Structure 1
Amino acid sequence: MSYCLNPNCRKPQNRDSVEFCRNCGATLRLKGRYRPIKPIGQGGFGRTFLAIDEDKPSKPRCVVKQFLPANQDAQHLKKAAQLFEREAMRLEELGNHPQIPALLAYFSQEEQQYLVQEFVDGKNLAELLHEHGVFTEVQVRAVLVGLLPVLEFIHAHSVIHRDIKPPNIIRMATGNVARQSRSSEWTELLQALSLEAAQGYIDFVSDCRFSDRLREGFTQPPRALSIATYTHWQQMAAQFTSYADLPFAQRQQLVAKASRLLNERRQLSGSAETHEGHLALVDFGAAKAAIGTALVNTGTTIGSPEYLAPEQSRGKAVFASDLFSLGVTCIHLLTNRSPFDLFDTSDNTWIWRQYLKTPVSETLGHILDRLLEPGVNRRYQSATDVLRDLEGGLSEGQVSPSPAVPRHSASSPQSKPIAVLAQPAQTPGTVRSAASVAVQVIAQAIAPKPQREEASPARRKAPKALPTWHCIHQLLNPGKVYAIALSPVEPLLASSSGTTIKLWDVQTGQPLRTLTGHLDVIYCLVISPDGTVLLSGSADKSIRLWDLQTGQRLGTIALHTDTVLSLVLSPDGRTLASGSLHDPMKLWDLETNRERASLSGQAGRIEALAFSPDGLWLASGSSDGTVALWDVNLKTATGREPRFLKGHVQTVAALAFEPDGKTLVSGSWDGTVKLWSTRTQREKRTLQPESGRVTALTLSPDGKLLVTGSDTLKLWQPRTGKELATLSGHTSVISAIALTHDSQTLVSSSWDGTIRIWKNGDA
């Protein structure tokens, strides 16, 4: 059948073979190629049709949108035309994404505007809700995991969708050939690499055609990898062209790296799947470009009323408005009730839990509550923030079959945990949370970021590596390394990956013992000043104490109601400070096993903590970009009101005090390292590593060496701000850094699954 698009035609159905409507004479093919076959929807701005692209041999289906506003008022027509054109612009800007229908054409014909899109085969969530009833927690988690990366992608392109709702989210049919991943191709490449390893690294991969196949594995935009990782992959693929000329050790390393990255790519390709297929986000008719986090122009209310965020209803949509609508979508799926019924206007509160057939877990409930916050500042600010919380209850990006917070696999290098934390315990008061590392990595996994600007000539002249430092050991882990801590009294290193803690001999690089017991990802580690006790904080909300000599668990401290992100011990080892996703910071007396104080005052997550050398001050870094100094004098134990250090514009991810306590060093996502006077609370100096977000830092015990981590390690003289060297080797974001007491051994961990131990050659 062919369908006439003349809105006044009374008999629009026609045979396939005719070119003109038998009833009204209108042309049946758009641009001579797109043949509408049936209507599939109608809205306030036009009609939507299923069509056939007759120009292609396979005759693929596509979607034709016809601009036909119901309101013919001149002013409304003008606005509607702008929105229709805007949808085409947004789709073109977003380019090719596997979960967004591609724009095929935008044109006018016979005084009508048309937009042609890729056809997404499947059922939308509203249809699935109608057919199968309320969604389970497992299914709602799948929706979040599947759609949040898409929102992060469009937000990274400065686009606000403004109409997130069940009808605009389609679960694609499994057999949608156009959307099938390249997983099978990557599996073949992995098998080839495995065969090469089994045959002793001497066989066919020297063939340049293999290099070409590797490159082709990444021909699509690197949506699931950072630009840095994508570039690294292309460079690595090029190395296979000269594989036969490489030494055996380099061949071995090259094959191992390629295998690891292919595994990541294959796993990430399925990260947006539900049980039956990927989720697609459609209907960008309401989407609009934004500057920063707000729309270019405000004052226009667009979207579906039931799902609108309060600020969007006032014509001032922000990125967080899409998150609000996603939250409303989720509670609608859980209850099958109108969102209007789920909000009590008399009490101005959500009552969605009253309509649940089965209670949801505390984790999911907390996430939904934050998505539904009416105040923008109290709501999640980005999709990665939501993913970060959500991943505390998921394993490997997949949905858990249990509503309870499940275990997080420690063996999967593809898992995407909430956070990473580490900092050496041997330097008093320098434990920081690298929860921010996880946010960065997830963000990179969702949408490629622009490549950094070329460094200044002066910066390019800085040495690429300090000749006296070299890597003596590379410790391999089954998954991403989340945290490390060095013993202050012996060459012992603790590291966490997933739910597992490993102890290592720093001198030999050999594993000593594995500690298990946490039920979820371990984000932070700290060792007591006497080197006898290890403390670990986890997404299972607990802080556990371990005997380092025996590996036995000594006890558990329950301070928080959510994920523990950061830990730090006072220099005398008597007081533990902890930070979490949402709870106030806690001070715990380890001698009496009682809570000393609860500190609140920063708006965001507490990403970093550090005690001053005298133990009288506690510094905390937050996702709101502030650093707070707290008076935690052990005699008064008041906590008092904090003193704020303001200067960073993004998350403060790392903190450390200089040995004299007069200077505090902070590292931030804004790419800067700042040195602050603790007496005046003023900024003394700013360092700019020019290597991306600063995710880790540490100071030597004598204060003469500062090491920062982002994509690379950089060494500095903190008092002069002089950059000394860059140490390369890690292939992903550095999660933690530690220095030994003599400053001659440096340990770094990364999301590439490795720990590198560096030695100063002059020692």
Structure 2
Amino acid sequence: MSLCINPNCQVPENPNELVFCQACGSELLLEGRYRVVKQLGGGGFGKTYEVREAARTTGGSTSGLPQVLKVLINNQPKAVELFQREKDVLSRLHHPGIPRIEVDGYFTFFPANSQEPLHCIVMEKIEGLDLQQYMAQRGYRPISQQLALEWLHQTFTILHEVHQQQFFHRDIKPSNIMLRADGQLVLIDFGAAREMTGTYIAKQEGGQVTGIHSLGYTPPEQVNGQAVPQSDFFAMGRTFAFLLTGKPPNNMYDPYSDECRWRGYAVNLSPLIADLIDRLMARLPNQRSANTQVVLQELAEIDRTLQLSKATPPPQVPEIYQVETVVSSGSPSTPTFVNPVTLNESTGNQIPETIVNPAAAQASQPSASPTAYNPT
């Protein structure tokens, strides 16, 4: 089946062999190479589809790996700006944790009988679940400490690539992090990303920066239109507070302290990891870690400390058995006691037990000889 992407088409389903939609007349073979096979999602600003590149030698059939087509159906200037920004950002980032965009993957498409173009981007399809879906499918059961460490390392390695290219994401949250089947995390939705340039700083000062708000994840400075690279750290910290508790950050917010009181809901979590997450989501940007390299170094140190604590056995305390009363076979009426038994600390071997008969012990004690009286 081949789908028509005309938003006004009443019957978008078409046979694969057609080049034009039989209902509205719009082209089905986009840019002469992409055929839409199914819709993946949609909202007020756009829709996403799965597309495959048509094989030119097989009569229009599709082949190759599935890709994602993002279609902007809202032509407001700000929406177009954000859409084009995502294309620009992705074309400059190269990392397994960031979707790849086709070299010529951005184009405009005019549906039949329309004067308004649809803006389109073709990019790598990320197979898997986003972390919001992942948590929902496991009943919002918190992830383990070990998995949290692994995912923290992955996400900050991805974020390091983004920040090194002078971008910051501005919309990190569980639904914008995908989990592949092989365990690799992928950061998606770069439409809100910004480049840290003089122009951006000037726009901040003039109040011209578009606000991107995600309830519970957006830091205070970003709400006020003053996002900085450390704003991504706040959102990442809130994301991991959610993953480690199964509770949305706003459900743990304390208005009296203006803090997310999440630690009481996390189980079996090292204070080292909890302290790092608290630093990431400190209220002020200058109270957070300085940059992604610092965070990665902190994670490496935490991992070394935790591994060392596993490898170092606890100090051995000599085992002491309680004194107990047993009945001697030789004299049923005479109690026999077992001395306390310890382990030899240097060899680890048990010191043999000593059986003591109270009567025999008393008899073996030296008796005091009476002093002889010598008359003078």
TM-score, reference length from structure 2: 0.73
Mapping for residues 445-594 of structure 1, pairs under 5 Å: none
Q: Secondary structure at the match of 1:297?
A: helix
Task: Provide the rounded CA distance (Å) in 2 between the counterparts of 1:383 and 1:124.
Answer: 23
Determine the structure 1 residue equivalent to 2:89.
90
Aligned to 1:384, which of 268, 290, 293? Answer: 293
Determine the structure 2 residue equivalent to 1:405.
306
Determine the structure 2 residue equivalent to 1:20.
20
Contact 2:47–2:73 (8 Å) recurs in 1: yes
Q: How far has the Cα of 1:332 moved from its partner?
A: 1.1
Question: Mind listing any 5+ residue stretches in structure 2 that lack a counterpart?
Answer: 57-61, 111-116, 315-376
Q: How far has the Cα of 1:99 moved from its partner?
A: 1.5
Q: How far has the Cα of 1:59 moved from its partner?
A: 1.9
Task: Provide the rounded CA distance (Å) in 2 between the counterparts of 1:154 and 1:333.
Answer: 22
Indicate how the Cα distance of structure 1 residues 295 and 103 shifts in structure 2: closer, same or farther if over 3 A, else same: farther
Contact 1:290–1:296 (8 Å) recurs in 2: no
Task: Provide the rounded CA distance (Å) in 2 between the counterparts of 1:33 and 1:349.
Answer: 52
Aligned to 1:122, which of 128, 149, 155? Answer: 128
Residues 482-508 of structure 1: CA deviation (Å, up to 9, x unaligned): xxxxxxxxxxxxxxxxx9xxxxxxxxx
Task: Provide the rounded CA distance (Å) in 2 between the counterparts of 1:44 and 1:297.
Answer: 27
User: Would you say 1:329 and 2:239 are equivalent positions?
Assistant: yes
Aligned to 1:99, which of 92, 97, 101? Answer: 97
Mapping for residues 166-565 of structure 1, pairs under 5 Å: 166-174=174-182, 277-291=183-197, 295=201, 297-298=203-204, 299-356=209-266, 358-394=267-303, 405-407=306-308
Task: Provide the rounded CA distance (Å) in 2 between the counterparts of 1:354 and 1:362.
Answer: 12
Cα-Cα RMSD: 2.4
Task: Provide the rounded CA distance (Å) in 2 between the counterparts of 1:369 and 1:315.
Answer: 23
Q: Which amino acid in 2 is paired with 1:363? A: L
Mapping for residues 35-114 of structure 1, pairs under 5 Å: 35-55=35-55, 58-69=63-74, 77-94=76-93, 96-104=94-102, 105-110=105-110, 111-114=117-120
Task: Provide the rounded CA distance (Å) in 1 between the counterparts of 2:214 and 2:91.
Answer: 24
Task: Provide the rounded CA distance (Å) in 1 between the counterparts of 2:44 and 2:291.
Answer: 30
Determine the structure 1 residue equivalent to 2:328.
none
Residues 524-550 of structure 1: CA deviation (Å, up to 9, x unaligned): xxxxxxxxxxxxxxxxxxxxxxxxxxx
Residues 725-749 of structure 1: CA deviation (Å, up to 9, x unaligned): xxxxxxxxxxxxxxxxxxxxxxxxx
Q: How far has the Cα of 1:118 moved from its partner?
A: 1.2
Q: Which amino acid in 2 is paired with 1:375? A: L
Q: Secondary structure at the match of 1:162?
A: coil
Indicate how the Cα distance of structure 1 residues 39 and 331 shifts in structure 2: closer, same or farther if over 3 A, else same: same
Indicate how the Cα distance of structure 1 residues 307 and 157 shifts in structure 2: closer, same or farther if over 3 A, else same: same
Aligned to 2:157, which of 136, 140, 149? Answer: 149
Q: How far has the Cα of 1:44 moved from its partner?
A: 4.7
Q: How far has the Cα of 1:43 moved from its partner?
A: 4.0
Indicate how the Cα distance of structure 1 residues 383 and 50 shifts in structure 2: closer, same or farther if over 3 A, else same: same
Residues 84-119 of structure 1: CA deviation (Å, up to 9, x unaligned): 11111111122x322111111101110111011111
Q: Secondary structure at the match of 2:37?
A: strand
Contact 2:38–2:51 (8 Å) recurs in 1: yes
Contact 2:253–2:260 (8 Å) recurs in 1: yes
Residues 694-753 of structure 1: CA deviation (Å, up to 9, x unaligned): xxxxxxxxxxxxxxxxxxxxxxxxxxxxxxxxxxxxxxxxxxxxxxxxxxxxxxxxxxxx
Q: Secondary structure at the match of 2:308?
A: coil
The higher radius of gyration belongs to: 2
Alignment coverage as a number of residue pairs: 294
Q: Secondary structure at the match of 2:28?
A: coil
Q: How far has the Cα of 1:314 moved from its partner?
A: 1.2
Q: Which amino acid in 1 is paired with 2:251? A: D
Identity %: 34
Q: Secondary structure at the match of 1:59?
A: strand
Q: Which amino acid in 2 is paired with 1:289? A: E
Q: Secondary structure at the match of 1:138?
A: helix
Contact 2:9–2:23 (8 Å) recurs in 1: yes
Contact 1:295–1:317 (8 Å) recurs in 2: no
Question: Mind listing any 5+ residue stretches in structure 1 that lack a counterpart?
Answer: 175-276, 396-403, 410-498, 500-515, 519-763
Aligned to 1:139, which of 147, 154, 158? Answer: 147
Task: Provide the rounded CA distance (Å) in 2 between the counterparts of 1:296 and 1:34.
Answer: 40
Determine the structure 2 residue equivalent to 1:163.
171
Q: How far has the Cα of 1:45 moved from its partner?
A: 3.0
Contact 2:215–2:250 (8 Å) recurs in 1: no
Contact 1:3–1:36 (8 Å) recurs in 2: yes
Contact 2:50–2:66 (8 Å) recurs in 1: yes
Determine the structure 2 residue equivalent to 1:721.
none
Q: Which amino acid in 1 is paired with 2:97? A: Q
Q: Which amino acid in 2 is paired with 1:286? A: A
Determine the structure 1 residue equivalent to 2:345.
none
Q: How far has the Cα of 1:354 moved from its partner?
A: 3.0
Contact 2:153–2:296 (8 Å) recurs in 1: yes
Task: Provide the rounded CA distance (Å) in 2 between the counterparts of 1:296 and 1:129.
Answer: 40
Q: Secondary structure at the match of 2:157?
A: helix
Contact 2:52–2:63 (8 Å) recurs in 1: no
Q: How far has the Cα of 1:151 moved from its partner?
A: 0.5
Q: Which amino acid in 2 is paired with 1:123? A: L
Task: Provide the rounded CA distance (Å) in 2 between the counterparts of 1:136 and 1:93.
Answer: 34
Q: How far has the Cα of 1:58 moved from its partner?
A: 4.5
Residues 315-346 of structure 1: CA deviation (Å, up to 9, x unaligned): 11111011111111111112222221121123
Q: How far has the Cα of 1:408 moved from its partner?
A: 8.4
Task: Provide the rounded CA distance (Å) in 2 between the counterparts of 1:53 and 1:408.
Answer: 53
Contact 2:250–2:260 (8 Å) recurs in 1: no
Contact 1:300–1:315 (8 Å) recurs in 2: yes
Q: How far has the Cα of 1:362 moved from its partner?
A: 0.5
Q: Which amino acid in 1 is paired with 2:279? A: R
Residues 166-222 of structure 1: CA deviation (Å, up to 9, x unaligned): 121112223xxxxxxxxxxxxxxxxxxxxxxxxxxxxxxxxxxxxxxxxxxxxxxxx
Contact 2:220–2:283 (8 Å) recurs in 1: yes
Contact 1:319–1:381 (8 Å) recurs in 2: no
Q: How far has the Cα of 1:124 moved from its partner?
A: 1.5
Residues 252-274 of structure 1: CA deviation (Å, up to 9, x unaligned): xxxxxxxxxxxxxxxxxxxxxxx
Contact 2:2–2:28 (8 Å) recurs in 1: yes
Task: Provide the rounded CA distance (Å) in 1 between the counterparts of 2:202 and 2:313.
Answer: 51
Task: Provide the rounded CA distance (Å) in 2 between the counterparts of 1:366 and 1:52.
Answer: 46
